[in-house]
Structure 1
Amino acid sequence: MESAVDALSRELAKLRTGRASAGMLDHIMVEHFGIKTPLNRMAVVSVLDPKTLSVTPYDPNALKELEKAIISSPLGLNPNTDNQRLIVPIPPMTKEHIQAVCRVVAKSSEDVKQSIRRARQKSLDTIKKAVPKKKDKDKAGSSISADDAKRLEKEIDDLTKKFIKTAEDMCKAKEKEITVG
């Protein structure tokens, strides 16, 4: 369940909002010497102000490849070259783009909730297997009592609710950030 929420957090960081975020360029792949490499391994991305990013390559010769990769990304960004770095202004989002990004956030939210529910079901199945059936009570083995099983099921349900609420809160915050800008 934790890994599902962590994955959601990484996914939401990639989405473009009206504000500059260093994580929004992480998923961009740059072709350098014929090898596709994530942008964040080739350059330092920093936020200059809420509407501007700075991309400083480790290798100044890779500046053109970085610029080409950012332009060809689906983010709709157009960087400017400033000596040894790229300045990436973040344009205001259109109404259609805001709606599209909100739909992506909603889909990500549902995917994470399903993943959390699958983890819950897997845990409950494991508990049910550990509780001995009436005919098997005489046999010795590593099993848990019915009372312990009920307690564990309640704990799992509580954890499930907690993680789903966390995921929903993250998505609501991201949607607010997108719509408010």
Structure 2
Amino acid sequence: MKEKEIQENMNKSIEATQRNFNTIRTGRANASLLDRVSVEYYGAETPIKSLATISTVDSQTISIQPFDISCLQAIEKSISMSDLGITPNNDGKVIRINVPPLTEERRKEFCKLASKYAEEGKVALRNIRRDAVDKEKKDEKDGLISIDELRDNQSEIQKITDKYIALIETKLSEKEKEILKV
């Protein structure tokens, strides 16, 4: 059993889940809100962070300064059409986004979204577990390990999986607290 390989794959799933959590609005301005917004730029979908400098001015304002002024309109349009529920203000050189406080209804929607992301992360972890267990069963079938080693390895894989699922649960509860905090 390659315990290190299993943990590396599970860490990648945790990181992906955390990146998804970071794209959820919490009522405070955060540059990572725009990570999932892509802009049609010279015929290709391009992430905003590749086209502009994104910074938080204060707790309620995000500033976007494009490297190329010609893409200002496209960036503004992409932000307006995103599901973030924020409206960009374009002054000709810089786009400013005022992040309004979240309503109770919107906070609950974001909590559901966070739960969805957490569930996707758990499914990814379970798939990694399944692949590892299948490999162990194949090794046992091929005579590389005994049935006792197989049982021990499956138990160890399950313990690792449980640890990482608990980690996702912890991150989810932290994110929900952050979202629901007024």
TM-score under structure 2 normalisation?
0.86
What residue number does 1:137 align with?
none
CA distance in 2, matches of 1:118, 1:157: 12
Residues 34-72 of structure 1: CA distance to partner in whole angstroms, max 9, x if unpaired?
433221111111112221111111112222221222122
CA drift at 1:142:
5.8
Pick the structure with greater CA Rg. 1
Equivalenced residue count is: 173
> Can you give the 5+ residue segments of structure 2 that lack an aligned partner in the other structure?
1-9
What residue number does 1:136 align with?
none
> Can you give the 5+ residue segments of structure 1 that lack an aligned partner in the other structure?
133-140
Amino acid at match of 1:173: E
CA distance in 1, matches of 2:53, 2:143: 53
What residue number does 1:145 align with?
146
TM-score under structure 1 normalisation?
0.86
CA 1:46–1:142: 2 relative to 1, 3 Å: farther
1:69-88 alignment runs, 5 A limit = 69-82=78-91, 84-88=93-97
Larger mean CA deviation between 50-59 and 108-117 belongs to 108-117
What residue number does 1:135 align with?
none
Amino acid at match of 1:69: S
CA 1:36–1:121: 2 relative to 1, 3 Å: closer
What residue number does 2:5 align with?
none
CA distance in 1, matches of 2:35, 2:123: 25
CA distance in 2, matches of 1:31, 1:128: 47
CA drift at 1:82:
4.3
CA RMSD of aligned residues (A): 1.8
